[in-house]
Structure formats: structure tokens, C-alpha cells
Amino acid sequence: MTDPAARLEAAERVRLANLPTPLDDAPRLAAHAGLARLLIKRDDTTGLAMGGNKARKLEYDLAGVTRKGYDVVVTIGGTQSNHAAMAAAAARRLGLDVKLVLGGPDFTRTQGNLLLDVLLGAEIRYLVDDDANDSLAAAMDAWVLELRRAGRRPLALPIGGSTGAGALGYVRAVRELAHQLGTGAVQIVTAVGSCGTFAGLNLGARLFLPQARIVGISISRTAREIATRTVELMREAAELIGADPGQGEDSLECTDDYVHEYGVATPAGLAAIRAAARLEGLLLDPVYTGKSMAGLLDLARRGVLDPAVPTVFLHTGGVPIVFAFEDAFRDQAVCTKITR
Ligand SMILES: Cc1ncc(COP(=O)(O)O)c(C=O)c1O
């Protein structure tokens, strides 16, 4: 079998996400952005710990885990990691145990995704004041060894579940989008973190939506780091399905203009969250989708996005994070107290 589309279809996958996700018109947000048409690809509705982009990756990352005899999933992330909570939900759905190495500023309250981790019964090791990928990965490797010595069969997942196999989830997502959109030019905007989603979208566009322009908005890394990692993941994913990985770094479009301290809300991100909620009833989060929507609005304002070409905003999830940012929203409350 040489056809990449057929090989994608045949690649082993475990059903975890509610697919296809809706593609909704957002006419008032489009007018606010000065775009003729804005559509929201609702990957926040995939399910698994309240939804998000990780569900599509986990379908490939966890394919065949029980058949292969694994009994525990181990992974890493920041305190409010969407990936960690979604991997925990996926592990439980498949009947597996779950261990998480999380890191960041010490927490005083169990909120947002951390609360979901606890509800899902994940055992957590916490690196206080250290969420560097290398530190988290080293702690995970040590835990994996410990578990093996104790006779367990751990499966370790890297940060964000971003692997070549995981990226296939977004190759498949582009095929889904192509069915929903039909042919024609389109610009697809997404948040970029560990690069699996961006890699899958770029490879998927080559196969199923050649007229698509994929615009990445980096949340934490430089554009150069994103390009290097995305090309690696595209190569790995392409190899799995016998596809041409493409031209390399120069063919990718990802801006780091909107990078801000990771995990810290920005005024533009909060304004975008407010606009999406009030204009469309759409919930975004302060760490990823609020910032990527703020980036989309700014790219539209600066004319970097073509106002005449339909724009798709990939809603990558992250909504549970809002429940850890109560302080950022408190002043928006319109509430009259009535006392007797
Ligand atoms: C809500 C949300 N959006 C976007 C991203 C970025 O996706 P990726 O890590 O595949 O680049 C992540 C994860 O890092 C996320 O949790």
C-alpha cells in the first residue's frame, strides 16, 4: 500500500475523541476582526477531560496500549497542563493507571486541570518552581525506571503528546476539515506549543487541503525552535504513512510575535476571551486559545491575514484553565447584591 491517505486510514488508532468536531460560523467575531468569514473548528468538543487538541493525538499515541500489555501511562506538563489531564482521562478510559510529573510555581489551590487530574486519580509528582521540559522529562524517566523495577509496564508520553504518531491525529483532522469546507482557499490559525498539532496540520494540508495556508501562533517558543521541531515531527509522521514531508522549515508560517511568559495571562488575550464570549458565546482560555485568538485579531488588523479568504480558527481546547484564573476575570462581574 503506497497511497498515504490509505495508509493513514489503516494506521492503528484507538477511538477516544468525539469526531467529527463541528465547524461553526462566527459572524460577529468575523466582523469584529474585519474578516469576511470566520469559522471555529471546535476541537474543544472532542471530549476527554473537557476536550481539546490532545484527544486526536492520543488516539494514535495510545493505539494498541492494552494489546501491547502496558498498564500505566506516565506523562509530564505544567500545573495546568491540558495534555496531562486529557492523557489521564484517556488512560482511565482504557482501564490504565496514570502518573503525572507536573511542574511550575507552587500551588495553593487545586483548580482547573489540576483538579481534573486529582478527580481522575492520577498520582502526581510535583517539581516546585521548575517546569522546564528537560527537568520534567528526567523526572519522568526516573519514575518509569522505578515502575519497571516494581514489575509495572509503563508507557511514557512526551510533553504535549507530540510524537510523529500523535501528529497523524491532525493529518486526519485536515481530511475532516476538507470534507466540511470543500475546495478553495482557506487560512487556518492555530496555537502552537509542543508542535504536534502544527506539524499534523501542515502535513495534512499537503495531502488533503493544498490551498490551505496554515498560520501558527507560538505560545512559548521562538519561531526558529518551532520550525525545527515541526519539521522533525512532520518527517516522523510522513514516514509512518509514506508521505512526502515537504520542503522543510521555510515552507512553515509561525509567528512568535505573541509569545509572553508561559502560563501568564496578557491584556490582549483577556480582551480576546471577552470578545469571543460576548460576541459568540465561545469560551477560550488565558494560556493558549485566548492568546491565539488575540494573535488572529492582530494579524487580521495588520492585513497579514487576507480578509477576503475564509479563516478557520482551530479551537484547541484548554477551557478548564479558566477555572484557575478567577482573579483575571473577577472585575468583569456585573452583579448587584440584594440583601434583606
Ligand atoms: C489548549 C491548547 N492549545 C494548543 C496547544 C498547542 O498544541 P501543540 O502542543 O500540539 O503545539 C496546547 C498544548 O500545548 C493546548 O493545551
Angle between helices 196-208 and 223-241 in degrees, nearest 10: 50
Among candidate residues 79, 209, 230, 74, the one with its CA nearest the CA of residue 152: 74
Strand partners, 149: none
Atom nearest to 52 CA in ligand 1: 1
* 173 Cα: distance to centroid of ligand 1 (angstroms): 15
| Burial 161-192, CB ≥16 within 10 A → b, else e | bbbbbbbbbbbbbbbbbbeebeeeebbbbbbb
pLDDT of 106: 86
Question: What rounded mean pLDDT belongs to the chain?
Answer: 96
Q: pLDDT class for 90, splitting at 50, 70, 90?
A: very high
pLDDT of 247: 79
Total residue count of the chain as it appears in this document: 340
Q: Where are the beta strands (DSSP E) in the chain?
A: 23-25, 38-42, 72-78, 97-104, 123-128, 154-157, 186-192, 212-218, 254-255, 311-315
Indicate whether 110 pLDDT > 80. Answer: yes
Among candidate residues 216, 219, 215, the one with its CA nearest the CA of residue 187: 215
DSSP 109: S
Among candidate residues 160, 101, 163, the one with its CA nearest the CA of residue 135: 101
Indicate whether 49 pLDDT > 70. Answer: yes
Which residue shows C-alpha cell 476538507? 178
Q: Whose CA is nearest to atom 14 of ligand 1?
A: 193
The answer for residues whose C-beta is within 8 angstroms of residue 37's C-beta and 6 or more apart is 25, 30, 310, 311
- Select from 60, 174, 284, 288 the residue to mutate for testing ligand 1; criterion: most ligand atoms less than 8 Å from CB: 288
Beta strands 23-25; 38-42: pairing state: antiparallel
* Residue-wise pLDDT tens digits, 246-264: 878 888 999 999 999 999 9
Q: pTM of the full predicted structure? A: 0.97
DSSP 263: T
Indicate whether 1 pLDDT > 70. Answer: no
Among candidate residues 31, 19, 91, the one with its CA nearest the CA of residue 62: 91
Among candidate residues 310, 298, 295, the one with its CA nearest the CA of residue 213: 310
Atom nearest to 197 CA in ligand 1: 10
Atom nearest to 44 CA in ligand 1: 1
Tell me the CA distances in angstroms from 167 to 204, 211, 229, 238, one per residue in order.
9, 20, 12, 9
* 163 Cα: distance to centroid of ligand 1 (angstroms): 13
* Residue-wise pLDDT tens digits, 7-32: 999 999 999 999 999 999 999 999 99
Q: pLDDT class for 298, splitting at 50, 70, 90?
A: very high
* 81 Cα: distance to centroid of ligand 1 (angstroms): 9
Q: Is 193 in the pocket of ligand 1 (CB under 6 A)?
A: yes
pLDDT of 332: 85
pLDDT of 246: 84
Q: Give the cell for residue 299.
A: 494579524
The answer for residues whose C-beta is within 8 angstroms of residue 187's C-beta and 6 or more apart is 212, 213, 215, 305, 306, 309, 310, 311, 312
Among candidate residues 249, 266, 325, 280, the one with its CA nearest the CA of residue 39: 280
**Mean pLDDT score, 145-159:** 98
